[in-house]
A = this chain, B = another copy of it.
Amino acid sequence: MDFKLEVTDAKSKARAGVITTDHGQIETPIFMPVGTAGTVKTVHQRELNEDVKAQIILGNTYHLYLRPGLDVIEAAGGLHKFNGFEKPMLTDSGGYQVYSLKHRRKITEEGVKFQSHIDGSRHNFTPEVVMDIQRTIGADIIMAFDECTPYPCDRKYARESMEMTHRWLKRCCDRFDQTESKYGYSQTLFPIVQGSTYHDLREKSAETIASFGREGNAIGGLSVGEPAEMMYESTDLVCSILPADKPRYLMGVGTPENILECIALGVDMFDCVMPTRNARHGLIYTSEGIINIKNKKWEKDFSPLDPNLGGYVDTAYSKAYVRHLVHSSEALGAQIASIHNLAFYLWLVGEARAHIKAGDFSTWKNLILPKISSRL
């Protein structure tokens, strides 16, 4: 993997760059649609390419490990061959799912024992196992196995968990560096900064993570319920420590507003289920504001979802039609809204990038933020 930092904004810490992987380039800042089980929910691979214009998508190690299982993915020749998405992919490490499985897992120094949410079967993730799994899944960028602490989190737990995450990182790096890609293209390992909302812990963690000298770095444990201001403070602090010549990935963030604010703090990569999950509930992000398409006010509005986007779903369908579909629980409603919301997120980061390169990012951000955050 290679990262070329192209421009750093003069009035903020925003950056534009290009990541190069064996599956192609990624222009940053970038949003990565979440493809949990090897599928971005309701969206065809062709639509990811042509309509959403995704440059990289995510897969979830926890989900893919359980279904279809590693033997199937390996027999296919890796996740790209299995799901037919030929561009770069990133897998998380399962750390976040472990955090979510609160009552079905036990964390020890060795790793995490957990029960499948599908059939209750028992499994054991250790840093080494998770590296091996991600070698088999075969994403271009893979993530270290960490513990994602909840919010709020007491200081002692946060510190001890962070220290364990650092020890796990050492084990991840050792295993990763001793093994090889299975499918003939390179993989790279990103470590994850933890430390909850404690500034000194975040600082310590960022320094530790940076010292590993990997090709990119991630910020975890945010967007777990803390106020946005706290998230911005931690992100700002961590970005000031993580090396400037490597991409910074803020995990699980967030709203369009969160993303623009964190781009301004120096983040290069984002992922979040929001655009697709909210789409399935009828929440549509547009360049003119946020729409709850279920509202009666859209019943006879035959204008496009977003007149400024111009992709297929924005020219083929009207608000009234999408409202009817969502209102009638017709699957096509979620499909249209998912493509639209993802296309909007990709449009937004693309615009941010263009304005960083043009030198007017902050001006543009201040103009567009109130608009895209308003409720229509």
B320–A76 contact, CB under 8 A? Answer: yes
CB of A75 within 8 A of CB of B300, answer: yes
A residues 298-325 touching B (CB-CB < 8 Å):
299-300, 302, 312, 316-318, 320-321, 323-325
Q: Are A38 and B335 in contact (CB under 8 A)?
A: no
Determine if A68 is an interface residue (Cβ-Cβ < 8 Å).
yes
Closest to A301 in B: B75
Name the residue of chain B whose CB is nearest to the CB of A71: B300
Q: Choose the segment among A42-50, A170-178, A212-220, A354-362 that binds chain B (4+ C-beta atoms closer than 8 Å).
A: A42-50
Give the contact stretch, choosing among A20-28, A139-147, A192-200, A326-334: A326-334
A324: min CB distance to chain B, Å? 4
Question: Given the interface contacts A76-B302, A299-B68, A302-B76, does A41 sit within 8 Å of B330 by beta carbon?
Answer: yes
Question: In the complex, which of the residues B82, B316, B328, B332 contacts A43, with contact meaning CB atoms closer than 8 Å?
Answer: B332
Complex Cα distance A41/B41, Å? 16
The yes or no answer to A84 lying at the interface (CB within 8 A) is yes
Interface residue A67 (Cβ < 8 Å from any Cβ of B): yes
Cβ of A83 within 8 Å of any chain B Cβ, yes or no, is yes
Check A224 for interface membership: any CB of B closer than 8 A.
no
A19 at the interface (CB under 8 A from B): no
Contacting residue for A331 out of B41, B317, B320, CB 8 A: B41
Q: Which applies to chain A's interface (DSSP): helix, strand, loop or mixed?
A: helix
Contacts of A41 in B (CB 8 A): 330-332
Closest approach, in angstroms, between the C-beta of A296 and any C-beta of chain B? 11
Residues of B within 8 A of A328 (CB): 37, 67-68
Nearest CB on B from A58, distance (A): 15
Please tell me if the beta carbons of A68 and B320 are within 8 angstroms of each other in the complex: yes
Write out the residue numbers on chain B whose beta carbons fall within 8 Å of the beta carbon of A72.
299-300, 320, 324
Annotate A289-302 by CB proximity to B: 1 below 8 A, 0 otherwise.
00000000001101
- For A71, A316, A324, A325, the residue with the greatest tally of chain B CB atoms inside 10 Å of its CB is A324
Q: Which residue of B lies closest to A41 (CB)?
A: B331
Shortest Cβ distance from A81 into B: residue: B302
A258 within 8 A of B: no
Residues B302 and A84 in contact, CB atoms below 8 Å apart: no
Cβ of A325 and Cβ of B75 under 8 Å apart?
Answer: no
Contact B68 A38 (CB under 8 A): no
Contact of A39 with B by CB under 8 A: yes
B-chain residues with CB within 8 Å of residue A317 when the two chains form the complex: 45, 84
Q: Which residue of B lies closest to A43 (CB)?
A: B332
- Chain B residues with CB under 8 Å of A323's CB are 68
In the bound assembly, the distance between CA atoms of A124 and B335 in angstroms comes to 34
Cβ contacts A to B, 11 pairs, < 8 Å: A38-B324, A39-B332, A44-B312, A44-B316, A68-B320, A72-B324, A75-B300, A76-B300, A82-B321, A84-B316, A84-B321
List the 3 closest pairs (A to B, CB-CB), nearest first.
Answer: A68-B324, A42-B331, A39-B332
